[in-house]
């Protein structure tokens, strides 16, 4: 049985002042011990973690759920490319965690600094949180070291691949770019967060430039051999953008903000006025430090039914940090993994066999201010593994798919956080 001791409260609260400032202090006093003694800790309040935290509570309200998430507000990456074109504001993609608290989730705006699987505890500040089951959904981290000059460049070179301040800064730089200027967007090699995301961004930047700075140019340097998702649909959409130059097999290995230039692995240099460099990625740092990653030190292998780590029992990994399932690194998939892992965790805590549930994925991409394209993937569990059974693409782009995208977003944001 896991109980939060008074010592643990105090230790977890660190300086105390920090947690008082977050408004979480009352949660650390008095009623913090779970009634049943069973506790699930969730690391990361993004698409996977927020969903998992809510659904553990929905599946069994007697289980205490503690969600660790340093961010006070959730900002959605889906639709954030529309902030660059000015079609959406970042505020319209930003939500609070109040909905989760209403479901009885203890939301602590803290960073998990270590996982100790053998002791079944997570380090937070100077203290620890014990868990019966842990769900880890820390998203991705950037492999900055793979691009020379990137670490030193700081905010001079933006990724805007975690929606938030960088998204707004990149939008401002796009607005301030001189007419006739060059915007360079780089795409990392697979596997990375949101396979169609960079190409949707290409559409949004090209659409903006076409309308606001018709003599300006967008150069896309893609490390991959071709557009990696919705290929024919994106290529058809790009016919509307004569200001776009797409170069496949152009992996960027160096950036020099001093002379505003990137260099590809073949030594070609490209000058820019504004750069958006999306770096190569790996699982969130906490997953790497906790030895949840495979031999490649990048991504986490999991059981396809329970999402339990193949390396550490009682630790489940979901969302973009995972690898090995035939699914994209998408918010829709992270949301599905959140629900499935939550149900599996509750059944395991109650001594029951987990159900074999497969995720599903619907992914919309905006190709201008009104029109979208989409892909739907269906999966099943076969022999204990997730396998794809169908993939369907929209026949083309349309404003009707754009309307469907709006419906999808409203529904899934509410499913996660409402």
Ligand X SMILES: Cc1cc2nc3c(=O)[nH]c(=O)nc-3n(C[C@H](O)[C@H](O)[C@H](O)COP(=O)(O)OP(=O)(O)OC[C@H]3O[C@@H](n4cnc5c(N)ncnc54)[C@H](O)[C@@H]3O)c2cc1C
Q: SS3 for 20?
A: helix
Q: Which positions from 16 to 55 touch ligand X by CB under 6 A, shown as an x/- string?
A: ---------------------------xxxxxxx------
Among 16, 18, 71, 99, binds ligand X (CB under 6 A): 71
Residue 360 interacts with ligand X (CB under 6 A): yes or no: no
Element spanning 106, H or E: strand 106-108
| Of 37 and 360, CB closest to ligand X | 360
Surface-to-core class of residue 35, CB atoms within 10 Å of its CB (0-12 exposed, 13-18 middle, 19+ buried): exposed
Restricting to residues 148-207, name those near ligand X by CB under 6 A: 161, 193-194, 197
Strands 64-68 and 74-75, sheet pairing: unpaired
Please report, as residue ranges, which positions from 246 to 305 form the binding site for ligand X (by CB under 6 A): 284, 286
* Residue 371 found at the interface with ligand X (CB under 6 A): no
Minimum distance from CB of 290 to ligand X (Å)? 9
3 Cβ contact list (under 8 Å, min separation 6): 33, 34, 37, 130
Nearest to 153 by CA among 168, 142, 138, 137: 142
Helix axes 165-176, 197-212, angle to 10 degrees: 30
Q: Which is nearer to ligand X, 337 or 343 (CB)?
A: 337
**Which residue, 334 or 344, has its beta carbon nearer to ligand X?**
334
Nearest to ligand X by Cβ — which residue?
46
- Closest approach of ligand X to the CB of residue 122, in Å: 8
Instruction: Please identify which residue in the block is written with the tokens 């169609």.
Output: 196
Cα–Cα distance for residue pair 202/184, rounded to 1 Å: 10
Give the integer Cα–Cα distance in Å for 144 and 165: 18
By CB under 6 A, is residue 354 in contact with ligand X? no
* Minimum gap (Å) between residue 246 Cβ and ligand X: 18
Instruction: State how far Cα 359 lies from the chain centre.
Output: 16
- Measured from the CB of residue 329, what is the shortest distance to ligand X in angstroms? 5
- Provide, rounded to whole angstroms, the least separation between the CB of residue 258 and ligand X: 27
Which residue in the set 12, 137, 377, 397 belongs to the binding site for ligand X (CB under 6 A)? 137
Q: How far is the CB of 211 from ligand X (least distance, A)?
A: 20
Beta strand extents in 204-359 (DSSP E only): 217-222, 244-247, 252-256, 261-264, 269-271, 274-277, 281-283, 300-301, 315-317, 322-323
Nearer to ligand X, 292 or 363 (CB): 363
Q: Looking at residue 355, what DSSP letter applies?
A: P
**In 3D, which of 302, 301, 303, 306 has the Cα closest to residue 347?**
306
Check residue 334 for interaction with ligand X (CB under 6 A): yes
The residues binding ligand X (CB under 6 A) are 43-49, 68-71, 77-78, 80-81, 111-112, 137-139, 161, 193-194, 197, 284, 286, 319-321, 329-332, 334, 363-364
């Amino acid at each position: 049985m896991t109980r939060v001791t008074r010592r643990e409260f105090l230790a977890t609260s660190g300086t105390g002042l920090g947690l008082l400032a977050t408004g979480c202090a009352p949660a650390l006093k008095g009623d913090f011990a779970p009634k049943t003694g069973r506790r699930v800790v969730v690391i990361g309040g993004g698409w996977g973690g927020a969903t998992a935290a809510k659904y553990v509570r929905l599946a069994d309200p007697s289980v205490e759920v503690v969600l660790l998430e340093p961010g006070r507000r959730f900002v959605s990456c889906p639709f954030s490319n529309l902030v660059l074109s000015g079609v959406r504001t970042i505020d319209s993609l930003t939500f609070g965690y109040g909905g989760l608290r209403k479901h009885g989730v203890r939301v602590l705006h803290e960073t998990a600094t270590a996982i100790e699987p053998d002791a079944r505890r997570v380090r937070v500040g100077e203290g620890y949180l014990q868990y019966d089951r842990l769900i880890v959904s820390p998203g991705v981290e950037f492999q900055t070291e793979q691009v020379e000059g990137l670490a030193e460049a700081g905010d001079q070179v933006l990724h805007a691949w975690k929606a938030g301040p960088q998204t707004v800064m990149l939008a401002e730089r796009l607005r301030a770019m001189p007419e006739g200027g060059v915007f360079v967007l780089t795409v990392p090699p697979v596997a990375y967060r949101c396979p169609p995301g960079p190409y949707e961004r290409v559409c949004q930047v090209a659409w903006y430039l076409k309308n606001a700075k018709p003599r300006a140019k967008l150069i896309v340097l893609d490390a991959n051999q071709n557009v990696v998702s919705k290929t024919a649909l994106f290529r058809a959409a790009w016919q509307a953008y004569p200001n776009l130059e797409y170069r496949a097999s152009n992996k960027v290995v160096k950036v020099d903000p001093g002379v505003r230039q990137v260099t590809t692995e073949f030594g070609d240099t490209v000058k820019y006025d504004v750069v958006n460099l999306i770096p190569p990625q790996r699982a969130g740092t906490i997953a790497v430090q906790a030895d949840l990653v495979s031999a490649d030190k990048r991504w986490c292998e999991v059981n396809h039914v329970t999402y339990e780590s193949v390396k550490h029992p009682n630790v489940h990994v979901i969302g973009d940090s995972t690898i090995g399932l035939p699914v994209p690194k998408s918010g829709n998939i992270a949301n599905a993994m959140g629900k499935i892992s939550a149900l599996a965790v509750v059944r395991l805590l109650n001594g029951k066999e987990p159900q074999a549930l497969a995720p599903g994925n619907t992914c919309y991409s905006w190709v201008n201010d009104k029109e979208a394209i989409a892909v739907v993937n269906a999966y099943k569990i076969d022999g204990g593994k997730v396998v794809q059974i169908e993939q369907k693409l929209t026949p083309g782009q349309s404003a009707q798919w754009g309307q469907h995208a709006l419906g999808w977003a409203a529904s899934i944001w509410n499913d996660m956080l409402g």
